[in-house]
Amino acid sequence: MVKLITIAFWFNVVLAVITASVLPFSLRFMTSTTYSMAPLIFPSDLTVVRELYMDSYNVGDIISFYRYLDGKQTIVTHRIDSLGGNVYITKGDANDVIDRQIVRPRLIIGKAVLVIPKVGTYVKLLKSDVGTFVLIILPAAYIIVTELRKMKLYTHQK
């Protein structure tokens, strides 16, 4: 039982670290919050995004970018619908109209290179306070307590 909890703990820790930081080759993990890119990307999916040079994005590419709306920053993943000089016009695949805001190159995080179905839900849980507590802190505490008990029993046997 302890071995299984230990394996699950380290899996969760590694997944949390990987999804919280930028990986080699300028890769980042994104999770969607809407169905604007359905049926290609759902909120339960994990999207792997790779940063490219500014002039490497083309019509048809799916990009993640920062959007500022009402003073709040969000990350959006949509397809490039057209180019307008030095800006990109984007649209969600499930949306009927193009996005109101243009995307400047400096706001682009990267191009979607891989979509992993269903893993996004687990990553969202892992990044939440409850998920971190249940999937990382509780197993860590269990492992520590179990090891301390073993050490105590070992020292009493001597």
Give all domains of the chain, ordered by start, each with its CATH number: 2-157 (2.10.109.10)
At a CB cut-off of 8 Å and minimum separation 6, what does 12 contact? Answer: 126, 135, 136, 139
Say if CB 126 and CB 99 are below 8 A apart: no
What is the model's pLDDT at position 21? Answer: 57
Q: Looking at the whole model, is its pTM more than 0.95?
A: no
Identify the band that residue 58 occupies on the pLDDT scale cut at 50, 70 and 90: very high
Furthest CA-CA distance within the chain: 78
Cα 130 from chain centroid (whole Å): 17
H-helix or E-strand containing 147? helix 138-157
90 forms bridges with which residues in the sheet? 80
Mean pLDDT of the chain: 88
Q: What percent of the chain has pLDDT over 90?
A: 46
* Measured distance CA(99)–CA(154) in Å, rounded: 65
Residues sharing a CB contact under 8 Å with residue 59, sequence separation 6 or more, in sequence order: 80, 81, 82, 83
84-120 pLDDT per residue, tens: 888 999 999 999 999 999 999 999 999 999 999 998 8
Q: Indicate the pLDDT class of residue 30, thresholds 50, 70 and 90.
A: confident
Q: Which residues contact 117 (CB under 8 A, 6 or more apart)?
A: 42, 44, 45
pLDDT at position 73 over 80:
yes
